[in-house]
Amino acid sequence: MKKLVILLMATTLFFSCSEEKGRRGIDFDKLKGQLQLTEDQVAKYDAIVTKSEEERKQQFEEMKASGKMNRKGFMKIMKTSFKKQEEELQAFLSEEQQVLVHEFMKRNMPGQSDYSDELKAEVIQTLALDSAQTVKYKAVNQAFTKAYRDAHDHYHGNGEAANMYWNQFNEDRKAALQKIFTVEQYAQYLELIKKESYRGQNERG
Amino acid sequence: MRLKKSLFRKRRKKESLFKYIMSVSHLWLGLLSSIVVFVVCLSGAMYSFKTQISELLNYDVVFNTEANHSNWVKPETIKINFLKEKKQVTRMIYPSDFSRNVMVFFHDLEEDFDGHYYVHPSTGDIVGSNAQSTGAFFDLMRSIHKNLLLGKIGNHLVGISILIFVVLLISGLILWFPSNKKQWKKGFQIKWSAKLPRVIYDLHNTLGFYTFLLLLFISITGLYVSYAWVKSAVVVSLGGQPVLNASNADAMKSELSNVFASFLEESMDNQVEKEKQQVDVSLNQLIEDSNRRLPYKAITTIQLPTDDNPHYQITKVKQESIFSAVVPDHVKYGKDGQFKKLILFSDQSIADQFMEVSLPLHTGEILGLSGIILYFVVTMIACSMPVTGILIWVRKL
């Protein structure tokens, strides 16, 4: 009986003391592993990552303390800070490393389940969309985002289902764009989106 | 040895095999899930009062204590007053009566941040903002309630434990059923005058019986939030769309395409609306119009156009019905103030209605403060179940 009580107490202590692991945002340790940094670069890299994390932490604390904590503000701090951090990292990296950093951050930017704004702008420019087409293209992308977010109640917590919804709505998006673009433009579009073919593949739900 | 005997006890002489299995499984499953059920119920009960405690701590700004009231401050007045302070109003929430202040959300044009203030319901004077934040404590309670601070593993631990709890509720009810007429009375009452072990037994048995239905409902709505398959089963049983999976992907294709098409129509409309020139729209007129379309006492939210959504939207949450807290109707207007659409909660399918109120159904907010108090009491009883259950078992050891 004594053993049982001790076991129950230990389990309670374990549950109450465990901290939730896993940071929100971009995994800079993973990025570091991919960059093959020199010794000198490692020191600079670590210093920037630490400094940026502290800055973000401070900004979140300030936002909390001011009572103005909201998701929009949170995302704004994250995105602005990550962009600034990217610029600082680019300053001492080789061209090859710069591309890797840019792609990694674009890929892992929090709250980004659709194609990046950079790619969407490239589509408008490369396909030379006229103003009417641009308005429709933006509306189709907005419909995609809304439909995907609206289905969140269905796929919440289920990565596999989230992935399927993403792909289904992306097919609907393609069908809608086919009606807006010319045949050549649509072929160009399909080529361009290959750059971010990873979108929708690993949705967390 | 006694522990082993207790866990693997033999069937009693007059005990049916069914009751024996129920009794042993009730013990095993109860012991297995006891700690998690206790922690989840306690944290859930704490979390349920989040809004009330936050409002109490900020009583002076949330509530209007003055007895004399004239008319409501006009939304247009609030908008203009804020603009003078370089603050662009994004949303206003008018309470249903003068006991509370009007909540105004704004974007500060000079310092570029989003914030809120409470303003007096008659004069429109700024009263203040929530100074006391309870966010950190209640965020912790919510995380414990959802995953015991153990991330994904915790999610599953909670999910499995609540599934076990549902089985325990059912097996508990079966065990509660008195075997003869004389014992019926015992099942409904707690004999406070009896010795402590009997009182503990009654607390477990009788309170378990009285709270059975509500606890079953709270558990199932909790599982609905945690597990896709539960959500899918509930939504489909209410005539809604199942969660997309490999086996139903083809069948659901056209249905999802229709969903996309309706969003596309809305997005096209949004884009057209965005292209329109910003005209001066009187919020007072919009409120009057929405009150004509939805003539009932309500908490009223006025949403002003944003970069993403170029529409005015007025949402009214009826305060006259039993489901006072969360049943909203919406009136949508264009950027030019022209009426666009009336979206009534009652027009939605039962499945969509359920999805919209699933969380308030789980928390009790659907019935307002009385619902939250009822859920709190019931959840605290659920919290006591593992304790009284273990005490009953320990005594038998």
DSSP string over B278-295: P----HHHHHHHHHHHS-
**Contact (CB<8Å) A139/B271:** yes
Please give the model's pTM, rounded to 2 decimal places. 0.71
Helix axes A183-192, A159-180, angle to 10 degrees: 150
Nearest CA to B314 out of B346, B278, B348, B340 is that of B340
Whether the predicted interface score ipTM is above 0.85 = no
**Range scoring the smallest mean pLDDT among A144-148, A196-200, B238-242:** B238-242
Chain B interface includes A75 (CB < 8 A): no
In the predicted structure, residue A14 carries a pLDDT above the cut 50: no
- Between A18 and A51, the higher pLDDT residue: A51
Give Cα separations from B63 to B95, B101, B130, B148 (angstroms).
Answer: 10, 6, 11, 35
In the predicted structure, residue A2 carries a pLDDT above the cut 60: no
Residues in A touching B155 (Cβ below 8 Å)? 157
Chain B interface includes A67 (CB < 8 A): yes
- Residue in the block written with tokens 């204590």: B65
In the predicted structure, residue A192 carries a pLDDT above the cut 90: yes
Q: How far is B184 from chain A (nearest CA, A)?
A: 34
Chain B interface includes A47 (CB < 8 A): no
What residue of A is the nearest CA neighbor of B4?
Answer: A1
DSSP states of B303-359 as a string? Answer: EPP-SS--SEEEEEEESSSSSTTT-EEEEEE-TTS-EEEEE-GGGS-HHHHHHHHHH
Residues in A touching B268 (Cβ below 8 Å)? 136, 139
Q: Is B28 strand, coil or helix?
A: helix
Using CB atoms, pick whichever of B253, B394, B397 lies closest to residue A168: B253
Using CB atoms, pick whichever of A22, A138, A143 lies closest to residue B260: A143
Query: Is residue B72 a contact partner of residue B121, using CB atoms and an 8 Å limit?
Result: yes
Give Cα separations from B230 to A155, B217, B220, B366, B397 (angstroms).
Answer: 12, 13, 8, 21, 38
In the predicted structure, residue B260 carries a pLDDT above the cut 90: yes
Residues in A touching B150 (Cβ below 8 Å)? 15, 18, 20
A151, exposed or middle or buried, with CB in 10 Å at 0-12, 13-18, 19+?
buried
Using CB atoms, pick whichever of B131, B151, B232 lies closest to residue A22: B151
User: Residue A181 carries which DSSP code?
Assistant: S
Query: Is residue B165 a contact partner of residue B158, using CB atoms and an 8 Å limit?
Result: no
Instruction: Say if strands B102-108 and B328-333 run parallel, antiparallel, or are unpaired.
Output: unpaired
Neighbour tally for B90: CB within 10 Å: 18
A76-118 confidence digits (pLDDT tens): 788 889 989 999 999 999 999 999 999 999 888 887 889 998 9
Token reading at B214: 């509500």
**Range scoring the smallest mean pLDDT among B1-10, B83-92, B156-165:** B1-10
Distance of CA B40 to the CA centre of its chain: 15
Token reading at B328: 């909203």
- Residue in the block written with tokens 């998701």: A71
Mutation for B interface: A15, A135, A136, A156, most B CBs within 10 A = A15
In the predicted structure, residue B231 carries a pLDDT above the cut 60: yes
Q: Using 50, 70 and 90 to split pLDDT, how confident is the model at B266?
A: confident
Q: Using 50, 70 and 90 to split pLDDT, how confident is the model at A71?
A: low
Q: Where along chain A do its domains lie?
A: 27-108, 117-196
Q: What is the pLDDT of residue A23?
A: 46
Mutation for B interface: A2, A153, A170, most B CBs within 10 A = A153
In the predicted structure, residue A198 carries a pLDDT above the cut 70: yes
